[in-house]
Amino acid sequence: MRRFDTIVTANRPVADGYRELRFAWPPDDGRRADDGREADDPAPGRFFTLRAGGRYDPALRRPFAFSDWRPSGRRPSGGEDGGAIAGEAACVFQLRGRGTAHLATLRPGDSLDVLGPLGRGFAKPPRGARPLLIAGGIGVGPMLYLAAALAADAAAGLCEAPILAVGARTAALVPVGLLPAGTAVCTDDGSAGFRGTVADWLASFDPGLPPAFYACGPAPMMAAVAAVAASRRAPYEAAVEQWMACGVGACAGCAVRLRSGDYVKACSDGPVLDGGLVDWEAMA
């Protein structure tokens, strides 16, 4: 985790009330995590926070999941980077209040105050399992990044090709331009793709292989995926949507109740959790 100042590289609408924000990602400092990865690896499922406004308003930083991260192919200026390659990160956000309204006004070249990467990301699927990625609403962001990462792994023979399903109330809320080929689109009103929820679609879908479920979206959708995963005795990793104040586990404002009655912190224990252990009714 680190805090840094960077610049916006793109900011565009992708659906009704949704935008994609892209920004430059500076080179890491060469540190390594316990598993050998770069300590500042913005892996799928992890998140970052932005100062979304002036110095004091809004007072709290805003959390966003990575929807993409890629090397830019350009070495950062300065010549003292030790061979590191600069990158570009992105998030998909929904216009909800003052903070996101401010972010929507940013243009390429504007400054951005970033803290991250934060949290725990997704694990790789078991060998021989078909990754099924289920997204609803703003949960499409982390699923897009995971789908791209798993597709790259599949091309290298490291896992089976993922299948992504995206649900929305109506076609205007689907970020069509961001979706990979083959995405199953589900709309409540039938204005695009399958008529019904992603849970309805999932109930009759045969992946052809034992499934491994990944999801991010509203609690009722996440609960429905949990029920399907349990019925198929399949693993289920869920990125929970929870309000986060500090983002580092200090304030306990993002507590998530488990079925056992215990609580975990979404920002530091998650946001990716075992979906079968979460008390989804408590989050509804």
Q: What is the pLDDT of residues 92-113, one digit of tens each?
A: 999 998 889 999 999 999 999 9
Residue 47 within a domain: yes
Residue span of the structural domain in which 97 resides:
2-118
Strands of the sheet containing 18-25, edge to edge, are 62-65, 47-50, 111-118, 2-15, 18-25, 87-94, 68-71
Same domain, 37 and 71: yes
What's the pTM value of the predicted model, to 2 decimals? 0.91
Same domain, 100 and 136: no
Question: Could you say which of 64, 88, 118 is where a domain stops?
Answer: 118
Same domain, 171 and 217: yes
Same domain, 154 and 262: yes
Residue 123 within a domain: no
Residue 103 within a domain: yes
Question: Could you say which of 118, 146, 175 is where a domain stops?
Answer: 118
Q: What is the pLDDT of residues 56-74, one digit of tens each?
A: 556 678 899 999 998 775 5
Query: Where residue 277 falls among pLDDT bands split at 50, 70, 90?
Result: very high
Query: What's the structural domain count of the chain?
Result: 2
Same domain, 166 and 220: yes
| Residue showing tokens 């962001």 | 141
Residue 43 within a domain: yes
Supply the CATH number for residue 106's domain: 2.40.30.10
Contact 5, 112 (CB under 8 A): yes
Same domain, 182 and 254: yes
Same domain, 150 and 248: yes
* Paired strand residues for 237: 214, 274
pLDDT of residue 203: 87
Supply the CATH number for residue 227's domain: 3.40.50.80
Q: What is the pLDDT of residues 20-47, one digit of tens each?
A: 999 999 886 655 444 444 456 799 999 9
Q: What is the pLDDT of residues 141-196, one digit of tens each?
A: 999 999 999 999 999 999 999 999 999 999 999 999 999 999 999 999 999 999 99
Question: Could you say which of 71, 97, 118 is where a domain stops?
Answer: 118
**How far apart are the C-alpha atoms of 166 and 179, rounded to whole Å?**
9
Query: Where residue 139 falls among pLDDT bands split at 50, 70, 90?
Result: very high
Same domain, 86 and 146: no
Residue 125 within a domain: no
Query: Where residue 18 falls among pLDDT bands split at 50, 70, 90?
Result: very high
Q: What is the pLDDT of residues 220-258, one digit of tens each?
A: 999 999 999 999 999 999 999 887 777 788 887 889 999
Same domain, 23 and 101: yes
Proportion of the chain above pLDDT 90, given as a percent: 74
pLDDT of residue 51: 86
Same domain, 166 and 272: yes
Same domain, 36 and 89: yes
Same domain, 166 and 94: no
Buried b / exposed e over 76-99, threshold 16 CB at 10 Å, is beeeebeebebbbbbbbbbeeeeb
Residue 153 within a domain: yes
